[in-house]
Amino acid sequence: LGPSAGAASDDLVAVPVDPIAHLAVGGRHTCAATRAGAVSCWGDNRLGQLGGGRAGSDWGPSPRRVGTP
């Protein structure tokens, strides 16, 4: 995870998703599920791997809530 879309970094990036019950980490994306059942994802979405309904690289380092079934 880096400070902006397409940028890799060893620096930590704060993500305001709390409290986390489950965390799923991919090569360039991450999704977190809270204890209340909300799911937020951030990172690379070029292939639609973040579950927001469309592919594209416009997500970046900020978490966005995605729908759950």
- How does pLDDT run across 2-31, given as a tens digit for each residue? 455 555 666 666 665 568 899 899 888 888
Confidence of residue 56 (pLDDT cuts 50, 70, 90): confident
Show the CA angle centred on residue 65, arms to residues 25 and 4, nearest 5°. Answer: 60
Section 32-42 average pLDDT: 87
pTM of the model: 0.68
Q: Which pLDDT score, from 0 to 100, does residue 9 have?
A: 62
- In terms of Cα–Cα distance, which of 67, 63, 66 is closest to 17? 63
Rounded to whole angstroms, how far apart are CA atoms 19 and 33? 9
Instruction: Please state the φ and ψ torsions of residue 3, each to the nearest 5 degrees.
Output: -75, -15
Tokens of 63: 């978490």
